[in-house]
């Protein structure tokens, strides 16, 4: 819940801070937003739920302030241990998921908590062919993550663990910016 509130605050804050005020104190001499000050990264969530599930509680703060380029080296072994302890699909050496990734390789992908984006191809979390090339609002991200973690080589293993059973947003997304569905 804390992560959801933080994400919502980060989405709304720029609208409130820079679009709903004509206070010149919030702009620098060039008319740009004044971002002077000390800021600290509090949380990372390039891929929803990955940080929450695979980072041990005692390491959460350190993971959240580690730059992504250093995350694999610092946290891959923790991710692999937690992945293998959590998922029967990776119980044996040589087991792979539907992407053909074994536990060490897949946990390395997960440990670098960034959202990859294809600049010249399909943008999707998974569409049956393209995987982790970005994210559309309508992508069923949690189910894709569950399939890759629990579904085994062909998504058939552990069917009770491989779907969150939430197949669509509760309201339709907008066709224009800000694209998110209207509030309840």
- Average pLDDT of the chain is 83
pLDDT for residue 18 is more than 90: no
What is the per-residue pLDDT for 4?
52
pLDDT digits (tens, 9 = 90+) for 48-58: 788 889 999 99
Other beta carbons less than 10 A from residue 82's beta carbon: 17
pLDDT for residue 174 is more than 70: yes
**Under 8 Å between Cβ of 36 and 48:** no
pLDDT for residue 138 is more than 70: yes
What is the SS3 string spanning the chain? CHHHHHHHHHHHHHHHHHHCCCCHHHECCCCCECCCCCCCCCCCCCCCCHHHHHCCHHHHHHHHHCCHHHHHHHHHHHHHHHHHHHCHHHCCCCCECCCCCEHHHHHHHHHCCCCCCCCCCCCCCECCCCECCCCCCCCCHHHHHHHHHHCHHHCCCCHHHCCCCCCCCCCCCCCCCCCCCCCC
**Under 8 Å between Cβ of 141 and 134:** no
Q: What mean pLDDT comes out for the span 108-133? A: 88
Q: What mean pLDDT comes out for the span 86-93? A: 90
Q: What mean pLDDT comes out for the span 95-123? A: 91
pLDDT for residue 6 is more than 80: no
């Amino acid at each position: 819940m804390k992560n959801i509130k933080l994400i919502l605050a980060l989405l709304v804050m720029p609208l409130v801070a820079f679009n709903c005020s004509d206070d010149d104190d919030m702009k620098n001499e060039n008319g740009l937003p004044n971002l002077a000050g000390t800021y600290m990264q509090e949380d990372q969530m390039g891929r929803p739920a990955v940080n929450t599930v695979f980072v041990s509680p005692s390491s959460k703060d350190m993971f959240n302030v580690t730059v992504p380029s250093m995350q694999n080296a610092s946290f891959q072994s923790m991710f692999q241990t937690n992945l293998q302890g959590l998922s029967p699909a990776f119980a044996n050496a040589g087991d792979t998921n539907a992407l053909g990734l074994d536990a060490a390789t897949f946990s390395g992908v997960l440990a670098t908590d960034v959202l990859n984006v294809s600049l010249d191809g399909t943008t999707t979390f998974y569409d049956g062919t393209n995987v982790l090339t970005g994210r559309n609002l309508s992508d069923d991200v949690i189910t894709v993550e569950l399939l890759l973690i629990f579904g085994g080589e062909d998504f058939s293993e552990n069917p009770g663990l491989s779907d969150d059973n939430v197949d669509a947003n509760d309201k339709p997304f907008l066709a224009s910016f800000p694209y998110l569905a209207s509030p309840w």
